[in-house]
Amino acid sequence: DVKVTQSSRYLVKRTGEKVFLECVQDMDHENMFWYRQDPGLGLRLIYFSYDVKMKEKGDIPEGYSVSREKKERFSLILESASTNQTSMYLCASLDRLNEKLFFGSGTQLSVL
C-alpha cells in the first residue's frame, strides 16, 4: 500500500528558528510536492521536485527552501520561521502512471 510519511504531526517553533519538515515516500515516485493548507485558502503549492536534486518553485515559495538528496525524501526548510508560516503542511508524491497524488497526514506547525 502507498505510504507517504511526514516526520511530525505537530510542531511548535519560535520566531526566527530554522525548521525542517521531513517527508518520505516508499513508492519510488519521481515527483514530490509540498503544500500548505490554510482556512479559506485551500491547498497552496510551495515547492515541488521532479527528481533528485531538482526543485521548482510553486505558487508561494517565499520564506521556504527544499532539499531532495534522495529520491524517497523531500524536505521543506523554513530558513527563519515567522508567525505567518503557522499552517498545516502537506507533503505528496505522484503516481504518474495512474495520475494520482498521495498525501501524507500533514504537519501542523505553530510558530510563536
Partner 1 sequence: DQQVKQNSPSLSVQEGRISILNCDYTNSMFDYFLWYKKYPAEGPTFLISISSIKDKNEDGRFTVFLNKSAKHLSLHIVPSQPGDSAVYFCAASVWSSGDKLTFGTGTRLAVRP
Report the site for partner 1 in 71-90 (rule: CB under 8 A). 90
20 binds partner 1 (CB under 8 A): no
CB 31 to partner 1: min, Å: 6
44 binds partner 1 (CB under 8 A): yes
Residue 41, SS3?
A: coil
Sign of CA dihedral 42, 47, 50, 52: negative
Compare residues 57 and 79 and give the one whose CB is closer to partner 1: 57
Residues making up the chain, counted from first to last: 112
Please name the amino acid found at residue 92: A
7 binds partner 1 (CB under 8 A): no
Q: In sequence order, which residues have a C-beta less than 8 Å from that of residue 71 and are 6 or more positions away?
A: 28, 29, 30, 51, 52
The residues that touch partner 1, with contacts defined as CB under 8 A, are 4, 9, 31, 33, 35, 40-45, 48, 50, 56, 58-59, 90, 92, 94, 96, 99-106
